[in-house]
Each structure stands twice: as structure tokens, then as C-alpha cells.
Amino acid sequence: ISVSRQHRTAYHFQPPKNWINDPNGPMYYNGIYHLFYQYNPKGSVWGNIVWAHSISKDLINWRTLEPALYPSKPFDKFGCWSGSATIVPGKGPVILYTGVVDDKQTQVQCYAVPEDLNDPLLRKWVKPDKFNPILVANKGVNGSAFRDPTTAWWSKDGHWKILVGSRRKRRGIAYLYRSKDFMTWVQAKHPIHSKGETGMWECPDFYPVLVNGNQGLETSEGGNHVKHVFKNSLDMTRFDYYTVGTYFEDKDRYVPDNTSVDGWGGLRYDYGNFYASKSFFDPSKNRRILWGWANESDTKEDDVRKGWAGIQAIPRTVWLDSTGRQLVQWPVEELNNLRGKEVNMNSQKLQKGDYVEVKGITAAQADVEVTFSFASLDKAETYDPKWVNAQDLCAQKGSKLQGGVGPFGLLTLASQNLEEFTPVFFRIFKGPVKHVVLLCSDATSSSLKSNMYKPSFAGFVDVDLATNKKLSLRSLIDHSVVESFGEGGKTNILSRVYPQLAVANQGHLFVFNNGTEPISVENLKAWSMKPADIK
């Protein structure tokens, strides 16, 4: 295979060529899933942005249609930027998106509706002139930082409500707008939420989750049985942060719980390469699904050479953890239909320094689920309370530096003699109160090629090991993607890597332990993955 194709994904969504970024307006309508996304029809770097449009019956296999939105009006002449879809009862879907009106990147909000609601694929979208643009920046609002409208929700007070991301100087802001008819929108006196020193809030998302249970909720649902999730994409770090909290509907204010840190130190959907995400409610299976964009980690020049850049992460079902402190995410169940040949490993002991190959699958295109266990936590290294940043800690310790309990986990996309590998692993520390569990996905050794971004992505896992000395991990390996879910989806990390040796059938998978405490691979299942049908 050619160099430009060897890192293409087999089952993560990507178009045949060119640049993509944010997922836009995901929805389920009349039996079909729609995914729109930021797309450059003219090349593999950002620019000339349109809303590309793909449809699916199962969220895994896709057909691409003509772009749904492209610059065609004075209010979106310089780009059709991110936005959301709302299904208005009795009327059908409406798209709200950001139009860029000039070369100074002045932003306004616009709407579009299907040209023909009887077209089952909703191929053509129109932008009625009567009300467009529906919003321009009011006095006091920064018109070049005013974008990415959310899905609307319907409030008991008889209004539709949406949020638009913004900033004032360094304060991140989500403005709230109300409408009775979906066309005329009025800015609320107060933003729904804001936070100093966080910079531009791109792609806000705001939705209810069940306090008890993993079913998803329609975006307008409220009441005592729900909490709300507020997410924004922080431009300055390129991560998606969220809090869990309460929405006071009468005041139109959102207040994060005291268990949720607001801002930089907060929870992330993913501790790796996952940005500008957006969720939607899927009424066909009563679940909320989360899409997120994973950018390339190679250079712009490489992207030009490859002719493509950007993928979407596997859509994830998302719900509130039973602790109420965080969300849990898991790849949509439809992904399992791509599982082919399966191999197993059971009760495999791993002493310090051991690594054992998982043979018999296409390791560069695979799905792996594994549970590790250990008899004791006594040997865990002491946690230094200065280590607040998981990524720094992972960079400092890596997978090669011997530990007490861990590092142990998977070596993905490994070359036969380990010149290249991307380890996904746990490392356990003895903290002042309880044990601290670190999950790392370390790209440092992922490729012999230099000059690219090889971060040691990592996050902490909120788990109580005192009662249950086990940790589970799932990794979706797809040529240049390692997308991992720790402890059933509590801490997740997507890495983009570009091996030179561990490509195609030269890719290998190992389990390893580099800590003094012996580790048992209680149970490992790995599958060769069939390619998704994406045309």
C-alpha cells in the first residue's frame, strides 16, 4: 500500500479525501442517522468550509451525499461553520449553523431546513432569506468569537432556547437566546454560564442525563430525575471539558456540582485527541450518542502529501456514572458487527518485564477487551500530590520505567521487535487518601519517524481498588488510531499515531507488565475488525 493510504482508517469514519473537522448537526430522522461535518472540498488543510453530509442506518457504515450547506449567501459567504440540528415536533429538522460574513471572520447564526421533507435522505437544504441570519452579535458581544449554536431545547415557559459559544477577553461564555417560533431570537440578560481565564468556548453542548440509569434523554427533558451536562471545547488546549450540574430553568442559569471542577482542571470526555464534539438523542434506541473529531498528529506537509486529514472517533453512547460525579462512554454496540476472527487469552501471568504477544488477529485493525488483576497494592509507588497533571506524569514515567503496581497494559501497533509501539497502560500510586490510578496512551515510541506530535496522553481513573483489584481496558486499533476506554469508559484516550514498521500485517499486539507486582491477564478477547463500508 502507498504511503498516503497506509494510515487510513478501516472503520473510523473518514471521507475518501480532503480535510474534515467538527461533527455537525448529528441526528436520527425517519430511520436514518445523519452526520454532517466541517469539510474542505478543495484540499487537505482547513479552509473553504462546507457542511459535508453522510447517512447511515447503523452509525458505522456510511454513504456520502452532496454537501448540505455551502457558502451561497451574503451571510455565509466566507464559510458554513459548526452548528446543530433540532427536530421541531410537527415541522421536522432545522439546522442552526454559524455563517462567516467577511474576511475578518465576523460570525452570525443562520438556519436551514430541508428543501423537501418527503426526500427520505434530506439531500437538499435551503436557507430562507426571510429570517436569515437569525442572530447577529449584539452590542457587547464579540462578533468574531460568536459561534457554534447548540441543539435547541423547549422550556416549560413556552420558549425554544439555544446557546452560542463566545468569549469576552479571556472569559469563556455561553450566551443564551430564546425564541417562540424558532425564527426570532432574543438574547437573555445573562449568559447561561461563563468562566474566567478559559478563552473561547467553541462548540458548547448542553443536555440532560438520567440520574439513575444509562438511557439517554431527549434534549428538552427536565425534572428531578435529571442532571445536566455542560461541555465546551477550549480552543487554548484543544480539549473538550465538561461539568455535571444543575440547570435552573426559571433563571436560565447552569451551576456545576461541587464535585465537578469548572475549567482547565476539569473532566474531559477524552484525554487524547478528541475535539469539537457534539451529542444527540437517538430515540430508536433511547440513548445519547457522542461524536468527536480526531485531528491528525502528523505535519501539515504530510497531510498535503496524504491528501486527507481528520477522522471522526467511533460514536459513543454516553450516560451518567452511578457515582453522579462523571460520565461514562462506550462505543455504540453496532460496532461489534464488524468483529471477525476472535482470539482469547485467559489467566496469563505477567511477571516484571514480561510481554506476551496476542497472536492470530489483524493487530493493526482490531478491537481488544481485557481485564487485568493483581493480588496486592502494597508495592504501589507513593503518589506525590504535586502530580496534578496526568499527561506530565505519564511523560515523566512512561511505560519503560519500572514501577510497583504497573505499568501494565497493552502494546498496540507494535513492530515485531518493538522498535515501534503505542502502549496503553495503567500505573497505580499510593495516595494520601486512596489509590491513584493513571491511564496512559503514550505515543512517544509510536513511530520511527520524527518531526511529529507524539504526546503522552493520560488521565486519572476514579475507581476504588480496595474492594476490587481489577482494571479493565478496551482499545480500538485502526492503523493510525488507538482509541481506548478505561474501566468501562470512565477515562478515555484517543491517540493518532503513524508507525513506519508496524503497518498493515506487520502490526502486532502484546500484553505487558513492567511493575514488580505480578499481574494476571484474567481475560482478554481480541477481534480482527472487518472494514466499515464507507463510500
**Catalytic residues, which ones?**
22
Q: With contact defined as beta carbons under 8 Å apart, do 326 and 257 qualify?
A: no
Q: Which positions from 180 through 209 interact with ligand FRU, judged by CB under 6 A?
A: 202-203
Q: State in angstroms the smallest separation of the CB of 144 from ligand FRU.
A: 11
Q: Choose which of 25, 50, 148, 152 interacts with ligand FRU (CB under 6 A).
A: 148
x/- letters, 91..110, toward ligand FRU (CB under 6 A): -------x------------
Site for ligand FRU in 269-308 (CB under 6 A): 276
Q: Is 85 in the site for ligand FRU (CB under 6 A)?
A: no
Element housing 306 (H / E):
helix 300-306
Q: Which three cell numbers stand for residue 237?
A: 488546549
Kindly list the distances between the CA atom of residue 422 and the CA atoms of 260, 326, 513, in Å, as whole numbers in the listed order. Answer: 31, 27, 14
CA–CA separation, 271 vs 483, rounded Å? 11
Q: 103 or 250: whose CB is closer to ligand FRU?
A: 103
The whole-angstrom separation of Cα 478 and Cα 531 is 10
Say how far apart CA 182 and CA 85 lie, in whole Å. 12
Q: x/- site string to ligand FRU, residues 36 to 55, per CB under 6 A? A: --x----------x------
Residue 225 or 238 with smaller CB distance to ligand FRU: 238
Name the minimum Å distance from CB 275 to ligand FRU. Answer: 6
CA–CA dist 455, 458 (Å, integer): 9
Residues 201-260 that bind ligand FRU (CB under 6 A): 202-203
Does 150 engage in binding with ligand FRU (CB under 6 A)? no
Kindly state the number of chain residues that form the binding site for ligand FRU, as judged by CB under 6 A: 12
Residue 97 or 271 having the CB closest to ligand FRU: 97
The amino acid occupying position 137 is A
Confirm or reject binding of residue 82 to ligand FRU (CB under 6 A). Answer: yes
- Say how many CA atoms lie within 13 Å of 148 toward its Cβ: 26
Considering the complex, state which of residue 49 and residue 244 has its C-beta at the smaller distance from ligand FRU: 49
Closest CB to ligand FRU among residues 33, 274:
274
Q: Is 478 helix (H, G, I), strand (E, B) or coil?
A: strand
DSSP letter for each residue of 138-205: PTTS-TTSEE-PPPPEE-TTS-EEEEEEEEETTEEEEEEEEESSSSS-EE-SS-SEEETT---EEEEE
CB of 82 to ligand FRU, least distance (A): 3
* Nearest CB to ligand FRU, comparing residues 202 and 282: 202
Where on the chain is the footprint of ligand FRU (CB under 6 A)?
21-22, 38, 49, 81-82, 98, 147-148, 202-203, 276
